Structure 1
Amino acid sequence: MSLAGQVALVTGASTGIGRHLVDGLAARGVAVAGLARNEERLSAAMAEVAEASGVRTLAVAADVTDRAAVDAAVARVADELGRVDLLVNNAGIIDAAEVPVWEADADQWWDVVSSHIRGAQLLVRAVVPGMLARGHGRIVNLASGMGATANRDYSAYSVAKTGLMRLTEALDLSLQGSGVMSFDVAPGVVDTPMTRSMDMWQGFTDWTPPERVVEMVAAIAAGELDAWSGRYLRAGGDDLETVRRTTPEGSARQLRLQPYGDGDPVG
């Protein structure tokens, strides 16, 4: 699938899933701006991608929770690459320890939530106005199964990913008719430094191939999955061809309360 001519901005781009996305999008002809905190590692990664793909890349070091840094980074991307067609909010950290909520370090707990929620909101704030002005754009928020089902040992990450799903749906409701779409994409369990650091995945071997994540994000960038805007997709579980042929209805793949019975006034 060629996406030549598009420009993508990927956060958390220097390692893990972000790096896989930068590689895969560049291989499809996308000019890619990568954003991460570690400038040295990011610059090296983006240079490697440019050399391997032959497309233009840009390394922009910034902390996604720093409003001024995000605004400056997006302004630089717009100045040097012209626009952003695809925003991938991938940056985020994980709970430092597998402990109940009351035993977690309070500051680190909030840092986790902020990295996913504040980071995504600041990027959306900086990028979406340009998309609206052009009448075209795609936003992908990296979701997780922990956002749909609570996890007692990774409560901050679970809360953050649930909030991110609500942000995706709120974006979709606000953007309807504008030509700009928003999506949740859960990657499955990809073999990355972050997942390797989590006790719950010790000894795990059934990793989701990162190419599955790249293929789904590329299909979104190509406009093939617009019917799924505001909804949850799982790269490690959904068959892409089936998803392409499916138009979800009602609240399918969205967070909703389950009624306790037929007479439930809330349900």
Structure 2
Amino acid sequence: MADASLAGQVALVTGASTGIGRQLAHALADRGAAVAGLARGAERLTAAVDEIAGATGRPVLAVAADVTDAAAVDAAVARVVEQLGPVDLLVNNAGLVDAAEVPVWAADREQWWAVVASHIRGPQLLIGAVVPAMVRRGRGRVVNLASGMGARAVPEYSAYSVGKTGLIRLTEALAASLLGTGVHAFNVAPGLVRTEMTDSMPKWEGHTAWTPPERVVELVCAIAAGELDDWSGRFLRAGADTPDTVGRVVLEEGARQLRLRPHGPDDPVA
């Protein structure tokens, strides 16, 4: 049954037609938010949004757009604001994955860049279209769907790894820029959730220890409710972190952020 814990909020979720994005769009609507789902494929997106609206009874809007197209993103955000109101929660979830498990030099160069762009250019464009209004209003939250692959080199998925590393750093830069504004930004790694994308990756063939999507939902909804603002600019991992456990953590400088590891106590660059 739908509740009203996020009533009055407007959420914009990219990549909302399938997988984690669809789960999040449904969960946010179920908790009372008005939700705009954005994805490239209009037909599948509309079907997903119609199903969410029917199940939750909340205002849900389908907006077809490519997140790497600046004009399309600006038009999409303008439509969301016109029909639902100013965005309170932006979830940057849309993103591609490497077409083949090959080293960098063997990858299709155009597809490699398309993957990186989907994880960096896409969120940067959405941030540019949404965050200024959040700052003017003095409130808002941005959730970027990160990955453990962004914290280490994954040679067979180099584009995805590079894209997620860039996204993590983008979140850190955004959060630092937002200090004192009332707007916050978070990296949320979903863990390994079983989706069409992960099923398409030979790396995970035979894998059984999937992260339940409900673990991603609980973190993002806690962020939307303002329960984890102290984690702005930090990395949260669904399945390992819960709102209760991270809410008790005292964060040290640089904790859960991208940093060089020193080679010893006298390392001059760490």
For normalisation by structure 1, the TM-score amounts to: 0.99
- The 3-state SS of whatever aligns with 1:9 is strand
Specify which of 153, 156, 164 is matched with residue 150 of structure 1.
153
Superposition deviation, residue 237 in structure 1:
1.3
Please state if 1:216 is matched with 2:219: yes
Question: Cα deviation per residue 1:9-40 (whole Å; 9 max; x = unaligned)?
Answer: 00000000000001111110111000000001
Alignment of 1:97-108 (within 5 A): 97-108=100-111
Q: Are 1:9 and 1:87, in contact at CA under 8 Å, matched by a contact in 2?
A: yes
Distance in 2 (alpha carbons) for counterparts of 1:185 and 1:7? 19
- The amino acid across from 1:75 in the alignment is A
Q: Are 1:227 and 1:247, in contact at CA under 8 Å, matched by a contact in 2?
A: no
Q: Are 1:89 and 1:140, in contact at CA under 8 Å, matched by a contact in 2?
A: yes
Q: Are 2:218 and 2:242, in contact at CA under 8 Å, matched by a contact in 1?
A: no
- The 3-state SS of whatever aligns with 2:142 is strand
Q: Are 1:228 and 1:247, in contact at CA under 8 Å, matched by a contact in 2?
A: no
Please state if 1:131 is matched with 2:134: yes
Please state if 1:11 is matched with 2:39: no
Q: Are 1:22 and 1:34, in contact at CA under 8 Å, matched by a contact in 2?
A: yes
Please state if 1:235 is matched with 2:260: no
User: RMSD across aligned C-alpha pairs, in angstroms?
Assistant: 0.8
Please state if 1:25 is matched with 2:17: no
Match of 1:198 in 2: 201
Specify which of 48, 51, 56 is matched with residue 59 of structure 2.
56
- The amino acid across from 2:71 in the alignment is A
Match of 1:110 in 2: 113
Percent identical across equivalent pairs?
70
For normalisation by structure 2, the TM-score amounts to: 0.98
How many equivalent residue pairs?
267
Please state if 1:189 is matched with 2:192: yes
Alignment of 1:15-94 (within 5 A): 15-94=18-97
Distance in 2 (alpha carbons) for counterparts of 1:41 and 1:77? 19
Superposition deviation, residue 239 in structure 1:
3.0
Tell which deviates more after alignment, 236-245 or 181-190: 236-245
- The 3-state SS of whatever aligns with 1:84 is coil
Q: Are 1:146 and 1:162, in contact at CA under 8 Å, matched by a contact in 2?
A: yes
Q: Which runs of 4+ in 1 moved over 6 A?
A: none
Superposition deviation, residue 59 in structure 1:
0.3
Superposition deviation, residue 189 in structure 1:
0.4
